Every structure is written in structure tokens, then in C-alpha cells.
């Protein structure tokens, strides 16, 4: 029998207020906060300036809307309709079509490490309903027949996947949402904000007092505490870690929610957490998952090729490795060894 254990927590935390499992809004001197529970996660948004409160109301509506179309479980969501489409065409919202096209592109860019068609495999492991089990290798091999992001066809708002294929946007939805919220806030007159979607952090503009934003990243070996702080300007910071959602079997073996699409097992390539820092929330979200799957060597190779993001890798041997672009803003809060990844 499997000893079930689950820990779902924010991956990294902007240094902000605490969260509550309901939406609240409070206006203080020069900023407004809103705490929202959506997409299975606690979200906090702080908007500075006079327009904050109104802007946050529409941000919350936008989040609820995106949740309603991206949800894998809600009966009427776009993703649910695709997942029960049996190979026929499904018409979806503009946002779903956009995110699916981007996720397919990012699947290509990461050579399939990001694959949003993994749902049948995630389901077999019980990660979709928190009913954990270890599928046998035959079951996994059979299910992998239904995993291949390149089979997704997006034509305008019409989406087709082969019979038996099912999608899950868990690896990319929050990053996409953070970008949309940042755009909305700006359109609504907010020039300065922190959007923290369950550890998927996006800052907007500069902090009004001129000091840098401080974004903390959780310690994967001590999840109650932070591993480092990044001092930055406008940026996205997204972490994927093996401590976010997992179970442990009776022999003490740990199984986590990030799956290697090449074999259908939890990705076990030497990393326990990956943080990606960059301009675009969706890109950072997609890469944090994909680089976790790739493991240290391939992740470093990928970064050297792209150079359009920074990253922090934490190895299972308790080493922190980060790219040179964040050397000046990275503050290690632990006694783990740190190493700057060489440029080539």
C-alpha cells in the first residue's frame, strides 16, 4: 500500500502579505492587495497607486475567466471539451487557442521536454485527483501512445487532437495568466505591481520607492524556508520543484508531478528545483518545467544556446548553480555551495 503524502505549496514567494482562501481587497495608503484562490493555488496581487483597487477587480475577473477555460476538470472548460472530443474538432476561446499554439511551439523548442498531452500519464499516477498509485510499465507504455504535443492542431479557434489524447495546461497556465494580468494592470493605469500566482511571480514596473523588488525562492530541502532572494526590476521568476506535489511509497521512494515525456516516469535527472528568470511569464513557466525534465547538462546546454533567460538550478547533491546574468542580484540564504554557470 502506498503511503500517501502530499505537499502543495507555493514554490517561491514574493515578499508580500499572507494569503487567504477567499478574495479580499484592502486599500492602504498607496497600494491595494487582492488575495485570490484560483487554478488550485493561492494568488496575491499588489498594485501600487490610485488605480490599484479597480484594476485588481478586473484582474480577478480575468483570472477567474482564464481558470474557467483552462481547467482540466470543469465540465464546460475548453480543455475539458477537447479532452472528451474523441478526435473531433473543438471550438475554443481565443486565449486557449493562443496558449495551445504557444505551448506547442515551446514543446518544439524544448525538444518535447514540455509536453501538454501528458494528461493520461499524470492521471495514471494519480496526480490529477491526488489518488496516488504506481502504474506498471506496460500501462505507462500504452498510455505514452497518446502523448505527443506535435499532434495538436490549432486552426484559428478550432482545436483537434487525435482520439484518446488529453491535454493539461498545468505547466504553462499560470505563466500565461501572469502576463495577461500584467498587461491588464498596465492598461488600467497601474505602473507598479507584484503578481504572485502561487509562487509564479511577475513584477510590473519599478517599486515606487525606487528600491528593487525582492523575490524569494523556496529552499527545496527545507520548504518552510527560502533559499535565496533576487533583487530585480520588472521580471518574471518561476520555479518548478519536486517538493510541490509528490507521494512517497512504503519503501520511502518519492514520486513527483513533473513527468519525463520520454518514459512516463517522474523526471529524475539530478535536479530538485529549477527557477527561470526572464521577461515573459509563459516562457519562464514553460522552461522551468522543461529544464527540470532535461536535467543539469541539457539545461545548461539549452541556456547556452538561447541566452534569453537566466536560471537557478538546485541539484539533488545540494548545489546551487546559476547563470551569470543574475550574479549581482542573487543572495544565497543557505550554506549550500553556489556556482556560477560558465558562459561557454
* Chain contacts with Mg ion (rule: CB under 5 A): 171, 285, 288-289
Return the number of the residue (171 or 190) whose C-beta is nearest Mg ion: 171
Q: Which residue is nearest to ligand AMP (CB)?
A: 170
If contact means CB under 5 to 8 A according to the sort of partner, which of Mg ion, ligand AMP, none does residue 115 touch? ligand AMP
Phi/psi class of residue 239: alpha, beta or left (left: φ > 0; alpha: ψ in -120 to 50)?
A: beta
Minimum CB separation from Mg ion for residue 182, in Å? 17
Minimum CB separation from ligand AMP for residue 332, in Å? 23
Return the number of the residue (56 or 99) whose C-beta is nearest Mg ion: 99
Nearest Cα to Cα of residue 13 among 292, 229, 304, 232:
229
Compose the 128-147 pattern: x for residues touching ligand AMP by CB under 6 A, - for all others: --------------------
Question: Binder to ligand AMP among 35, 232, 240, 323 (CB under 6 A)?
Answer: 240
**Which of the stretches 112-120, 202-210, 218-226, 302-310 binds ligand AMP when contact is defined by CB under 6 A?**
112-120
DSSP string, 312-332: EEEETTSEEEEEGGGGGGEEE
Question: Binder to ligand AMP among 47, 79, 197, 258 (CB under 6 A)?
Answer: 258
**Angle subtended by helix axes 281-294 and 296-306, to nearest 10:** 140
Q: Which residue is nearest to Mg ion (CB)?
A: 289
Minimum CB separation from ligand AMP for residue 12, in Å? 11
Angle in degrees, CA 235, 174, 80, rounded to 5:
160
Question: Binder to ligand AMP among 171, 197, 299, 326 (CB under 6 A)?
Answer: 171
Minimum CB separation from ligand AMP for residue 254, in Å? 15
d(Cα 186, Cα 193) in Å, to the nearest integer?
9
Minimum CB separation from ligand AMP for residue 285, in Å? 5
Minimum CB separation from Mg ion for residue 278, in Å? 12
| CB-CB contact of 99 with 169 (8 Å) | yes
Minimum CB separation from ligand AMP for residue 100, in Å? 12
Q: What is the rounded end-to-end Cα distance, in angstroms, of the chain?
A: 47
Q: Does 166 bind ligand AMP (CB under 6 A)?
A: no
d(Cα 141, Cα 135) in Å, to the nearest integer?
10
Q: Does 110 bind ligand AMP (CB under 6 A)?
A: no
Question: Binder to ligand AMP among 14, 114, 312, 326 (CB under 6 A)?
Answer: 114
| CB-CB contact of 295 with 271 (8 Å) | yes
Residues binding ligand AMP: number (CB under 6 A): 19
Question: Binder to ligand AMP among 52, 120, 170, 278 (CB under 6 A)?
Answer: 170
Compose the 268-307 pattern: x for residues touching ligand AMP by CB under 6 A, - for all others: -----------------x--xx---x--------------
Give the DSSP letter of residue 162. -
DSSP string, 176-213: HHHHHHHHHHHHTT---EEEEETTEEEEES--TTSPPE
Distances (CA, A) of 107 to 151, 172, 258, 264, 286: 11, 11, 15, 16, 9
Residue with grid cell 496516488, as numbered in its chain = 132
Distances (CA, A) of 229 to 7, 143, 177, 210, 232: 23, 40, 23, 18, 10
List the beta bridge partners of residue 117: none
Cell of 156: 484559428
Nearest Cα to Cα of residue 244 among 228, 257, 233, 254:
257
If contact means CB under 5 to 8 A according to the sort of partner, which of Mg ion, ligand AMP, none does residue 178 touch? none
Q: Does 266 bind ligand AMP (CB under 6 A)?
A: no
Q: Which residues bind ligand AMP (CB under 6 A)?
A: 114-116, 118, 122, 127, 168, 170-171, 240, 245, 257-259, 261, 285, 288-289, 293
Amino acid at each position: 500500500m502506498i503511503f500517501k503524502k502530499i505537499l502543495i505549496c507555493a514554490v517561491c514567494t514574493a515578499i508580500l502579505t499572507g494569503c487567504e482562501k477567499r478574495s479580499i481587497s484592502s486599500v492602504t495608503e498607496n497600494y491595494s492587495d487582492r488575495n485570490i484562490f484560483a487554478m488550485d493555488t493561492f494568488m496575491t496581487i499588489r498594485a501600487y497607486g490610485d488605480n490599484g483597487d479597480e484594476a485588481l477587480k478586473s484582474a480577478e475577473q480575468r483570472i477567474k475567466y482564464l481558470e474557467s477555460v483552462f481547467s482540466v476538470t470543469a465540465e464546460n472548460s475548453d480543455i475539458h471539451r477537447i479532452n472528451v472530443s474523441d478526435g473531433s474538432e473543438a471550438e475554443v476561446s481565443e486565449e486557449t487557442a493562443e496558449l495551445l499554439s504557444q505551448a506547442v511551439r515551446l514543446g518544439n523548442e524544448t525538444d518535447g521536454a514540455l509536453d501538454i498531452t501528458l494528461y493520461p500519464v499524470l492521471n495514471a499516477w494519480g496526480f490529477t485527483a491526488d489518488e496516488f498509485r504506481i502504474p506498471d510499465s506496460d500501462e505507462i507504455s500504452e498510455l505514452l501512445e497518446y502523448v505527443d504535443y506535435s499532434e495538436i492542431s490549432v486552426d484559428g479557434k478550432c482545436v483537434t487532437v487525435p482520439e484518446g489524447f488529453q491535454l493539461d495546461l498545468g505547466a504553462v497556465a499560470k505563466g500565461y495568466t501572469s502576463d495577461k494580468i500584467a498587461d491588464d494592470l498596465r492598461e488600467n493605469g497601474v505602473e507598479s505591481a507584484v503578481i504572485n500566482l502561487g509562487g509564479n511571480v511577475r513584477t510590473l514596473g519599478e517599486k515606487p520607492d525606487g528600491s528593487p523588488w525582492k523575490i524569494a525562492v523556496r529552499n527545496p530541502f527545507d520548504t518552510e524556508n527560502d533559499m535565496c532572494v533576487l533583487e530585480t526590476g520588472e521580471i518574471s521568476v518561476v520555479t518548478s520543484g519536486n517538493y510541490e506535489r509528490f507521494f512517497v511509497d512504503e519503501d520511502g521512494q518519492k514520486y513527483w508531478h513533473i513527468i519525463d515525456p520520454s518514459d512516463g516516469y517522474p523526471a529524475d535527472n539530478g535536479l530538485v528545483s529549477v527557477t527561470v528568470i526572464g521577461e515573459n511569464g509563459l516562457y519562464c513557466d514553460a522552461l522551468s518545467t522543461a529544464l527540470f525534465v532535461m536535467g543539469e547538462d541539457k539545461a545548461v546546454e539549452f541556456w547556452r544556446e538561447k541566452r534569453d533567460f537566466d536560471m537557478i538550478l538546485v541539484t539533488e547533491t545540494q548545489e546551487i548553480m546559476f547563470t551569470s546574468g543574475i550574479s549581482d542580484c542573487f543572495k544565497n540564504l543557505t550554506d549550500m555551495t553556489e556556482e556560477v554557470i560558465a558562459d561557454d
